Amino acid sequence: MPIITLTTDFGNDDPFDGVMKGVILNISPDVKIVDLTHNVLPQDIYQANFLLSACYHYFPEGTIHVCVVDPGVGSQRKPVLIQTKKYFFIGPDNGLFTSVLEKEEIVNVVELTEKKYWLSNVSQTFHGRDIFAPVAAHLTKGVAVNDFGKQINRSDLVKLKINKPIKTDNGYKGIIQYIDHFGNLITNISSELINGKVKGKLKNHYFQDLVSSFAEAKNNTLTAIKGSSGYLELFVYKGNAQMFADLNVGDEVEIALI
């Protein structure tokens, strides 16, 4: 039985995700629903794009990833269903799937226009419940992708401009692209670019070395590690690097390979 994942900025206080699950189970009682996270920063499409692209491929082939971070809900932005070789992605066409689609082979893209697969009353503010959840549920029941609407070109999908690291004489210049719950700072510099050791600078903070486990680091010291999402991370052992160094997403980081 297929899996539907949910990624939203609804938070954990309101029952918005619970209602989406009710809608899905009403149509497709046996589906498995997994929360990826509901705590994307409100309306932060860039963060949703990063988190989704870091996680989607851990799920079985055929998984339907529904992502609802949707500041343009009810406006002219298109609701879309994207079929790739291995997965399905459903959500607003606002760039949420930019990084995923750099990695996946697209098979089909459909603008959701066929209202018989939506709830009968569609609000102007909650398409997660009224359009995306029921479409995902009907997809698990065998409705063909093309039945949900009209095919559109891949090139018509909205794309975010994602900040990529820049090669320097002796290393790379990048940014902090995400900060996790532990205060670890995830850069946009891929771990694959790094062989051997590094030293670097993050705003006015310097760091040296590249440890291979958190426990190898000195206390109270900003330290680099190849993180679990495939990027160079900066952390403070048994501490919180964000609070330690007062840093934020978007701050510049520069490394030298040594």
Residues in contact with a copy of itself by the rule CB under 8 A: 1, 3, 5, 7, 10-16, 18-19, 21-23, 25-26, 29, 32, 34-39, 42-43, 51, 54-55, 58-60, 63, 71-75, 123-126, 129-130, 180-182, 212-216, 225-228, 233, 238, 240
Q: Minimum CB separation from a copy of itself for residue 101, in Å? A: 19
* 75 versus 151: smaller Cβ distance to a copy of itself: 75
* 119 versus 173: smaller Cβ distance to a copy of itself: 119
* 128 versus 165: smaller Cβ distance to a copy of itself: 128
Q: Minimum CB separation from a copy of itself for residue 166, in Å? A: 26
Q: Minimum CB separation from a copy of itself for residue 124, in Å? A: 5
CB atoms within 10 A of CB 92: 26
* 134 versus 200: smaller Cβ distance to a copy of itself: 134
Decide: 90 and 46 in contact? Cβ < 8 Å: no
